[in-house]
């Protein structure tokens, strides 16, 4: 009779369901039973000459009766695969030492206990560690001195949670029993005054939180949330991270602290409340999470269900948890984590591959794993961990046990396994150092406190690197920075970088990981937008420094990066920047350049003046014998005056171009000396003409005594030379850079203003004397009358230099030397034109007046007029003096006046002609002269 296949299939499904229900019922009955004897505490044990204790949270929690509480310890539930693997890592490490030559002839034994993630259970197991060796009653003796006390174990490895570790450490401190933790990272455990017997093979949370803050700052985030538990571990992490975050200008506006222990009924409610707050904080997109794996598992399941996409920064407690990585759709959220640096895992991998051959006697976790694995034989690999967590049953099926060793390897956390290996190796090397001269096999060979002293200073190895504990009992290895990413449809935890604790830097493994990190940085988690280059952050009224507004940099300030706290100041001496600038611009150096149009114009005028002086010199040389040249004082005097004008025009060249010490000293010295010589020569020439046409005997005698041409010229010029020399020696002018907001003006600093004013004042005094002489001679004969032109030239000079003073005081920059050039040209052109242009006009276009006869006629007319005037003045004076005694004029009065006038005329004519025409006496008859 053939059976219906569907019926057979239904029967099998019913049988499988019946088996599962029966096993679940058995689990409930078994796990609700409290422990009966102290041995029920022991999870795994192996005998040895030297015993080492172990504390691992193999189960997540315990079942206790809340309705009728009693002082009893119940069984643990919720088997944790990852912690079970940590237990195997300790066993494997001890087996490695036992199989090595490190402790030849001595075997390390172990007693491993399940803490059930519960402080009370852990305290009970710690009492067994402290109980006296070979005591059948498992008692801890009370002593004042435990130096010779021999406890059951010599050292303890564990626990994982800092809250539990602290409680254990306080008890072990009573006997100074070494405690080496492989995962407890709370910073407070580094305090040796409170935990003197505690050491750990992992860094303190001080470094982990520092690395997190650095990563956050490096990613450009500054608006962060943090979720922790309300225990010593969570509070310590929160406080330490807050300090490092503030140092990196990172703010924590969102803080959520979960109770250390939540029941299954309340945890989802609390997490939902937290997620509501997270949704409300829309600008917070990055969260640092210091939670137990169970909390994170529930948190992520609900977050994924509610489609909350954030970046989560994982602490070492759950950063490599495969259980969390297998949550459905976990790829929707981004996870970056920190874990302890991994070591060589090949030996442990081989151990797992051969785990089915390992003895299960006295190893309850291994036996329980075998049963749970059999119960979940039909579960997929992705669901197996959760199945084991939720179920427990006895089984007689072993054939499936060896088929899932790869599953264990997938759940292995390499960083923690390496830390456990280092803890065992540290104890092994310390025991070897301590017992070299002792009996290894004797339980009383050493006491725990002696082992502690050696352990603090021991140097040990994992086969590749050497390690030692620092002064705080910490092992400061590097962190691995992890990135969770989806590969072939599965969430994979990959290494992105290493964090060097000593140098506070991230070391990326390759370019691909750098690109991955760059992609993470695209996530924005800030209170305010990023400030662009050219702006700075301005803090607004808020409790957080991360909230700010962006303002443009002020003038002469710049910012060349984004998100700068302050603008940088340009070097005001050489650079400038407009408001909102990203760079400093080099200031334009300004001076009267050769290419400047104004400079070209002034140079053209100076060149024209030089050409005028040369042309006048040529004209006078070609007409050397004419009366007009002779009446100008002679060719030598004219050459000297023209040379002075030439030098004055040349001096303007030194005012153009970049100021230098040589040009600053040369230009004014050359002008002042040459202009003084010019004024002195013209002054002597005017004095000579006044002397020639003076008919007052007293004035004539005074002028004769004053007229010393060469001494006076040398004296007048020498005084100016002395003034200039003193000026150059004691307060010489020099180049000076004057910095303005956008330009640097190169100009000349005059040195002593008093000396500069003295030079100008001295020239002004000479010019004024010259002006007086010129004014006195304004009525001389026309061909000799330079005075009215010179008077006009002096007026131009005085007006120019009086105007120069206020303009010099108010002008700056390249226009200052231009102003000086202009006034030099005005002065020079005024005197040159008024002195020589009328004579050149006569020479070139009035040649009929440039003859001896014309000059004699002009002199005769002038002398007749002057003599008549003088006679009339003399007659008036004589009449006044003799009016009292004279009653009537004499007939010969007119004749006397006429005779005197004729004598004066003859005298003037003879003097002038002797000066300018020495040979005239040979050509003119004496009768004509006497007649004149």
Per-residue pLDDT of 906-923, as tens digits, reads 444 444 444 444 443 333
Query: How sure is the predictor about 808, in pLDDT bands with cuts at 50, 70 and 90?
Result: confident
Compute the distance between CA of residue 848 and CA of residue 788 in angstroms, rounded to an integer. 22
Find, among 351, 352, 387, 349, the residue nearest to 371 by Cα: 387
Query: How sure is the predictor about 775, in pLDDT bands with cuts at 50, 70 and 90?
Result: low
pLDDT tops 70 at residue 783: no
Query: How sure is the predictor about 660, in pLDDT bands with cuts at 50, 70 and 90?
Result: confident
Per-residue pLDDT of 874-885, as tens digits, reads 444 343 343 333
Q: Answer whether 387's CB lies under 8 Å from 376's CB.
A: yes
- Least confident range from 180-189, 541-550, 865-874: namely 865-874
Q: Would you call 437 helix, strand, or coil by DSSP?
A: coil
Per-residue pLDDT of 427-461, as tens digits, reads 999 998 887 767 666 777 788 999 999 999 999 98
- Least confident range from 130-134, 193-197, 318-322, 775-779: namely 775-779
pLDDT tops 50 at residue 563: yes
Per-residue pLDDT of 830-880, as tens digits, reads 888 888 887 888 788 877 766 666 666 666 665 555 545 444 444 443 433
Q: Would you call 467 helix, strand, or coil by DSSP?
A: strand
613-640: average pLDDT = 80
More reliable by pLDDT, 615 or 385: 615
Compute the distance between CA of residue 514 and CA of residue 405 in angstroms, rounded to an integer. 34
Query: How sure is the predictor about 135, in pLDDT bands with cuts at 50, 70 and 90?
Result: low
Q: Please give the model's pTM, rounded to 2 decimal places.
A: 0.61
Across the chain, mean pLDDT equals 78
Confidence at residue 871, expressed as pLDDT on a 0 to 100 scale: 45
Compute the distance between CA of residue 930 and CA of residue 932 in angstroms, rounded to an integer. 5
Q: Answer whether 462's CB lies under 8 Å from 418's CB.
A: yes
Buried b (16+ CB within 10 A) or exposed e, 759-798: bbebbbebbebbbebbebbeebbebbbbbbbbbebbebbb
CB atoms within 10 A of CB 847: 13
pLDDT tops 70 at residue 927: no
Order the strands of the 155-157 sheet from edge to edge: 42-46, 108-114, 50-56, 155-157, 179-181, 198-200
Per-residue pLDDT of 380-395, as tens digits, reads 655 666 666 665 434 4
Q: Answer whether 113's CB lies under 8 Å from 99's CB.
A: no
CB atoms within 10 A of CB 315: 24
């Amino acid at each position: 009779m053939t059976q219906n296949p569907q019926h057979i299939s239904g029967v099998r499904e019913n049988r499988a369901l019946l088996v599962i229900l029966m096993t679940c019922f058995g689990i409930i009955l078994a796990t609700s039973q409290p422990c009966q004897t102290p041995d029920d505490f022991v999870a795994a044990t192996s005998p040895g000459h030297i015993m080492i204790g172990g504390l691992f949270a193999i189960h997540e929690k315990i079942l206790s009766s809340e309705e009728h509480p009693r002082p009893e310890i119940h069984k643990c539930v919720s088997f944790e695969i990852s912690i079970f693997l940590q237990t195997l890592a300790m066993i494997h490490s001890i087996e490695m030492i036992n199989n090595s030559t490190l402790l030849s002839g001595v075997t390390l034994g172990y007693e491993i206990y399940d803490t059930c993630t519960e402080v009370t259970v852990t305290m009970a197991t710690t009492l067994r560690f402290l109980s006296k060796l070979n005591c059948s009653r498992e008692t801890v003796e009370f002593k004042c001195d435990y130096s010779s006390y021999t406890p059951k174990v010599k050292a303890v490895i564990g626990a994982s949670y800092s809250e539990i570790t602290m409680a254990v450490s306080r008890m072990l401190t009573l006997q100074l029993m070494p405690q080496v933790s492989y995962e407890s990272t709370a910073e407070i455990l580094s305090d040796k005054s409170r935990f003197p017997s505690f050491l750990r093979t992992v860094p303190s949370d001080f470094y982990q939180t520092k690395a997190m803050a650095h990563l956050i700052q490096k990613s450009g985030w500054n608006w962060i949330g943090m979720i922790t538990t309300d225990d010593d571990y969570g509070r310590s992490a929160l406080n330490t991270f807050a300090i490092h975050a503030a140092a990196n200008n990172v703010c924590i506006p969102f803080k959520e602290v979960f109770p250390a222990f939540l029941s299954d009924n309340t945890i989802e409610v609390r997490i939902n409340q937290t997620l509501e707050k997270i949704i409300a904080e829309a600008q917070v997109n990055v969260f640092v999470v210091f939670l137990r794996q169970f909390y994170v598992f529930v948190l992520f399941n609900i977050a994924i269900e509610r489609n909350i996409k954030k970046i989560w920064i994982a602490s070492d407690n759950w950063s490599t948890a495969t259980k969390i990585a297998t949550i459905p759709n976990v790829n929707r959220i981004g996870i970056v984590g920190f874990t302890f640096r991994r070591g060589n895992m090949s030996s442990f991998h081989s151990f797992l591959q051969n785990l089915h051959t390992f003895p299960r006697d006295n190893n309850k976790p291994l036996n329980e794993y075998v049963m749970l694995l059999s119960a979940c034989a039909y579960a997929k690999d992705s669901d197996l961990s959760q199945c084991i967590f939720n179920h427990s049953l006895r089984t007689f099926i072993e054939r499936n046990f060896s088929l899932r060793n790869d599953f264990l390897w997938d759940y292995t956390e390499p960083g923690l396994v390496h830390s456990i290996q280092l803890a065992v190796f540290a104890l092994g090397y310390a025991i070897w150092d301590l017992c070299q001269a002792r009996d290894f096999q004797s339980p009383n060979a050493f006491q725990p406190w002696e082992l502690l002293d050696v352990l603090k200073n021991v140097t040990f190895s994992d086969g590749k690197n050497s390690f030692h504990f620092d002064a705080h009992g910490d092992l400061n290895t590097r962190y691995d920075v992890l990135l969770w990413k989806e590969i072939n449809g599965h969430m994979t935890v990959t290494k992105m970088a290493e964090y060097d604790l000593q140098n506070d830097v991230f070391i990326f493994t390759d370019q691909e990981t750098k690109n991955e990190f760059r992609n993470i940085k695209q996530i924005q988690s800030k209170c305010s937008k990023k400030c662009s280059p050219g702006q700075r952050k301005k803090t607004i009224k808020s409790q957080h420094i991360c909230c700010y507004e962006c303002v443009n940099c002020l003038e002469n300030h710049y910012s060349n990066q984004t998100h700068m706290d302050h603008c940088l100041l340009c070097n005001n001496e050489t650079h400038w920047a407009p408001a909102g600038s990203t760079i400093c611009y080099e200031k334009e150096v300004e001076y009267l350049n050769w290419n400047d149009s104004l400079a070209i114009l002034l140079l053209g005028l100076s060149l024209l003046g030089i050409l005028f002086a040369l042309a006048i010199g040529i004209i006078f040389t070609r007409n050397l014998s004419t009366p007009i040249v002779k009446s100008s004082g002679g060719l030598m005097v004219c050459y000297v005056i023209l040379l002075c004008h030439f030098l004055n025009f040349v001096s303007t060249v030194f005012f153009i171009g970049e100021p230098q010490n040589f040009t600053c000293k040369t230009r004014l010295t050359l002008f002042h000396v040459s202009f003084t010589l010019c004024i002195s020569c013209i002054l002597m020439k005017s004095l000579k003409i006044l002397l020639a046409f003076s008919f007052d005997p007293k004035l004539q005698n005074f002028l004769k005594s004053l007229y010393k041409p060469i001494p006076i010229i040398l004296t007048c010029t020498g005084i100016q030379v002395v003034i200039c020399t003193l000026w150059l020696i004691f307060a010489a002018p020099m180049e000076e850079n004057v910095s303005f907001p956008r330009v640097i003006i190169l100009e000349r600093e005059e040195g002593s203003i008093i000396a500069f004013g003295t030079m100008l004042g001295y020239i002004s005094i000479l010019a004024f004397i010259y002006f007086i002489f010129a004014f006195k001679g304004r009525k001389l004969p026309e061909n000799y009358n330079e005075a009215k032109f010179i008077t006009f030239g002096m007026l131009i000079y005085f007006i120019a230099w009086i105007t120069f003073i206020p303009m010099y005081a108010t002008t700056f920059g390249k226009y200052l030397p231009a102003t000086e050039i202009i006034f030099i040209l005005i002065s020079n052109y005024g005197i040159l034109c008024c002195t020589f242009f009328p004579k050149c006009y006569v020479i070139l276009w009035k040649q009929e007046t440039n003859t001896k006869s014309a000059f004699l006629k002009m002199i005769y007319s002038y002398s007749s007029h002057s003599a008549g005037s003088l006679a009339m003045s003399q007659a008036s004076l004589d009449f006044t003096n003799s009016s009292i005694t004279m009653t009537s004029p004499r007939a010969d009065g007119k004749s006397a006046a006429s005779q005197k006038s004729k004598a004066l005329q003859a005298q003037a004519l003879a003097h002038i002609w002797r000066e300018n025409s020495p040979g005239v006496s040979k050509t003119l008859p004496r009768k004509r002269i006497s007649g004149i």
